[in-house]
Structure 1
Amino acid sequence: MDANQQTRTNPYGMDEACRNCPALCETRTQVVHGYGDVGADFLFVGERPTARADAVGVPFLRDAGEADGDGDRPGGTTLRRMLERLGLCDATSPADRPAVENVYLTNCTRCRDPDRRPTDEEIANCEPYLNAEIRMINPEILVPVGDRALEEIGTEYTTTPADDLSLPDVHATTVRGRGFELVPMVEPHEQTDAQTQAWLEHFVDLMAADYRQTKGRRER
């Protein structure tokens, strides 16, 4: 991480008392901003905080057997486990404070309603937070996790027609973006074993290649 980074949790000090979405203020436990390495090459973007993330304040955390409360099936793998297999997260680090390196985790929305997904307006309200994180981190690879994140990231950061960006069709592929490459992913807990293995193998190949772009990045 950058030498001046003091914490992985909300390292940019974004507003933790945000009230831009009144309905979500009534249902959230806390505002869940980004978490991780501010010098990361790999930035993962989900749709909204999980139930565990809402309780703890770290994106993508998921209890064993946790479902989202809106029809998603429980169980399956976790993003943390996938990052451990890639060597991007210390497997011995605390469950609620994963020691990720070269990785930043965030969401399109920062607050959770346990019974529904975010509205378009709520996504738009949080867009400045996400755009600021992407701009400040300036990652090499954006990983949209799930359909809604892919829709938002794909629309903003690629010239690929929206109809050509859908999961699982582009799962475990590389999509050229404007200044970034996208490597979309089906929600980890919804992946089959074959989908998990395919994504990991694709990402390992990407990490072994010269993925860095020439866009004035600072030296790590």
Structure 2
Amino acid sequence: MQNVTDRTSNPFGMRPPFDRSDPGDRTAVFGYGDANADFHVIGDHSGVHGGASTGVPFTANESGRAIQDVCREVGFASGPSSRPELENCFWSYVHMCCLPDGRRPTETEYADCEPYFDAELRAINAHVLLPVGERATDHVLWEYTTQRDRLELDMPSLHATEIRGRGFLVVPIREPTDWVDTDRDRLVSRLEAILGRDYRQTKGVATTVG
């Protein structure tokens, strides 16, 4: 089943659960990209992975540019860096709302945003989830696999590996500002290998928001 929408940004019309941004600042950085994507890149929040100035995840800071660069190399992204065209890929954050000075969300604020993130993830219904950084990886492994209690949250070891989830293949990504040596190349090679085979996962999740 395909999603029918011509919207690239916030294709399902999500509304932020709260507004704690400074007056005149952007309220939230919504999900962005191909609503029928097989690959879903999941970041933490705009203070970590960028986008508060552009409204697009993974833009306008070092971490965002590193993720975008990988997506370009494997054919997911093209066009301007501030608002790229995405094909077969969707970008979003666990915590969509913008906060003053890019501060880290509280646990309550993460919890407030989680149902919105979950609804969008299930609406996209991608086959491959790519959580970026420790927070997003921890959340994805707890919520969408049965593996978290068996795994140490050791991002250097988990980086660019494959973990089978409940209807998803999860490929954790180490925080880009921590990449060393071959981390980038390992991620590119992993994605190219997945793209070169039948990566589709057996699905058992809803495909609509509601």
Q: Which TM-score band applies after superposition, normalised by the shorter structure?
A: 0.7 to 0.9
**CA distance 1:215–1:115, change in 2 (3 Å):** closer
Cα deviation, residue 26, structure 1: 3.7
Counterpart of 1:106 in structure 2 is 92
| % identical aligned pairs | 36
Cα deviation, residue 12, structure 1: 0.9
Query: 1:76–1:189: 8 Å Cα contact kept in structure 2?
Result: no
C-alpha distance after superposition, 1:156-198 (max 9, x if no partner): 0111134433311100100111110100001223312410001
Choose from 18, 21, 39 the match for 1:25: 21
**Unaligned stretches of 5+ residues in structure 2:** none
Query: 2:39–2:90: 8 Å Cα contact kept in structure 1?
Result: yes
SS at match of 2:189: helix
C-alpha distance after superposition, 1:57-93 (max 9, x if no partner): 1011124xx5xxxxxxxx8961111111001112xx1
Counterpart of 1:189 in structure 2 is 177
Residues in 1 aligned to 2:148 and 2:140: alpha-carbon distance in whole angstroms:
12
Counterpart of 2:66 in structure 1 is 78
Counterpart of 1:13 in structure 2 is 13
**Unaligned stretches of 5+ residues in structure 1:** 67-74
Cα deviation, residue 121, structure 1: 1.0
Residues in 1 aligned to 2:103 and 2:28: alpha-carbon distance in whole angstroms:
17
Q: Do residues 116 (structure 1) and 103 (structure 2) align?
A: yes
Q: TM-score, normalised by structure 2?
A: 0.86
Residues in 1 aligned to 2:142 and 2:96: alpha-carbon distance in whole angstroms:
20
Residues in 2 aligned to 1:52 and 1:133: alpha-carbon distance in whole angstroms:
19
**CA distance 1:87–1:128, change in 2 (3 Å):** same
Measured on the aligned residues, the alpha-carbon RMSD in Å equals 2.4
